[in-house]
Amino acid sequence: MQASKWLQHMTFQRPKAPRGAVWVHACSMGEVASVSGLIQRLLDANKQVHLTVVTRTGFAQAQRLFGERITLSWLPWDLPFLMSRFVKHLKPSLLLLNETEFWPGMLKACKKQGAPVIGVNTRISDRSFPKYYKTRKLWRRWLSPITFFLAQSNTDAERLFQIGINKERIKTVGNLKFAVQAPDVEAKQVRQMIDPSSKRPILIVASTHDNEEAQVLSLLQTWRRIQPDLLTLIVPRHPERFQKVAQLLEKHGISYTHYVQERTGQEQVVLVDAMGVLTGLYTIADVVFIGGSLVDIGGHNPLEPAICGRGVVAGKHIQNFKAVFADMQHQGAAIIVQDKKELELAITRLLEKPDELQQLNAQATLFMQQQGQVLDRMWEEIKPYL
C-alpha cells in the first residue's frame, strides 16, 4: 500500500474509477464516518461513487464500510498540474467536499473541467477561523468555484460570510455527523465475546490519547470498590499506541486481556487493540467516556455512542465537537468534566445511581431521534445536481 499511496499522491497511478462518478472527498477516519450515510444514500440512488482520503485510518475506514461498492484512492497533492491531471482522468459529475477540505488546486481543476462543487457539512473551527479571516481575500477567490455550502451550524455559516462568501451560497442544514448509522452488529454476540458471563458492568474508555489512559487507570480501583466486577474496555485512538498502552497496564499491575484473547472473568481491563470495532462495542456499554478530551486534542464524536442509546462523559477539551457536546449536554445526554477529579466523581455517581445512568442513556436516544433529519435536508439540496 505504501507504493500505491505515493504513486497516487503524484498521480503516476490513477484510480480505476468510473468516469462521471460522484466524487466525495473526506480527509480522515472521522470524516469518512460522517459522510458514510450520504455515500450510502448515493449508492441507494444507483450513483457511482469515488471517494478520496488523506490518512491511512480514513482509507481503512472506507474499505471497512464500503468494500468494493465504491472506488477509493488517495487525494493527489494539491499542485495545479497534479490536480488537473487527476480531475481530467476522473471527470466527476459532482464533487462533494466534506467539512473544510478546501484545496485551491482541486477547486480550480473542477472549475476547468466544468464539475460542480458542493461543500457539505462545512465547518470552520474556533482555531482555524482567525487564519481564514486574515487571508479572506485569497479564500474568497479560491472558494469561488464552490456552488454553495451546506453549513453545520449558524456559527459556521456566519464565518463563511465573514471570509467573503455571499449569503446566497450558504445554507445551514445541520451536522452530518448526526446522520451516523447504528452499527450492524448483533449485541448479544458482541457481549458474549467481551464478557461471556453477560453480567459484568462495562465501562468503555474510547478513543484515548497519550496521558489519558494513565489518568483513567489511576481511578479504576475507586470505581471497582463500587462495582467489584466492573470490566473496563480501553480503546486507544491510534494503532501505533497499542503496545504502549499494554506496557502501561503491566506497569500498573492491572490484569488485562487483548481484544482477541479469551476472557478469564478475572481481568479488570480489555485492551481493544483492533480497528473498526468501537461502534459495535457501544451497543453493550453501560458507561461511556470519550477520549481526546482530558488532554487538549479536541474530543471525538459523541454521536457514535448516542446512536446506540448511550450518553457520554467527556473532559473539557471538546472543541472539535463543541456544538454537538453543548446540544447533548443541554438535552441531558452528556456530562462534561473539568479534570480527573471530576471524572472520578461523575463515573462514581453513575455507577452508584443506576437511575441516573438510565436517564443519561435515555436522553441520548431522544436526542438522536430529534436530530435524525439532517441527512434528508442535505439530500434535498444535493439531489438537483445529481
117: confidence class by pLDDT, cuts 50, 70, 90: very high
Residue intervals of the chain classified under CATH 3.40.50.11720 are 2-175+372-385
pLDDT at 125: 87
Domain 187-370: give its CATH architecture.
3-Layer(aba) Sandwich (3.40)
Q: The dihedral of CA 271, 275, 277, 282: what is its sign? A: positive
pLDDT tens sequence across 57-95? 899 989 988 999 999 999 999 999 999 999 999 999 999
362: confidence class by pLDDT, cuts 50, 70, 90: very high
Segment 213-220 mean pLDDT: 97
Segment 174-200 mean pLDDT: 89
Segment 292-319 mean pLDDT: 96
pLDDT tens sequence across 136-151? 999 999 999 999 999 9
Reported residue count of the chain is: 386
Segment 294-308 mean pLDDT: 95
Segment 206-219 mean pLDDT: 97
Of the candidates 46, 44, 41, the residue with the CA atom closest to the CA atom of residue 382: 41
CA of residue 277 relative to chain centroid, distance: 13
322: confidence class by pLDDT, cuts 50, 70, 90: confident
Asked if residue 11 lies in contact with residue 78, where contact means CB atoms within 8 angstroms, the answer is no
pLDDT at 324: 87
With residues binned 3-state (H G I as helix, E B as strand, rest as coil), the percentages for the chain, rounded to 5, are 50, 15, 35
Task: Please give the grid coordinates belonging to residue 303.
Answer: 454521536
pLDDT tens sequence across 327-347? 899 999 999 999 999 999 999
Residue intervals of the chain classified under CATH 3.40.50.2000 are 187-370
pLDDT at 109: 96
Segment 157-172 mean pLDDT: 96
What is the CATH topology of the domain spanning 2-175+372-385?
Answer: Rossmann fold (3.40.50)
Say if pTM beats, i.e. exceeds, 0.85: no
pLDDT tens sequence across 13-33? 888 889 899 999 999 888 998
Mean pLDDT in the chain? Answer: 94
* Least reliable range by pLDDT among 206-220, 246-260, 319-333, 349-363: 319-333
pLDDT at 226: 96
pLDDT at 1 over 60: no
Q: The dihedral of CA 176, 178, 182, 187: what is its sign? A: positive
pLDDT at 235: 98
Read off the DSSP letter of residue 239.
G
pLDDT tens sequence across 38-48? 999 999 999 99
DSSP assignment of 266-286, as one string? --SEEE---SS-HHHHGGG-S
pLDDT at 304 over 90: yes
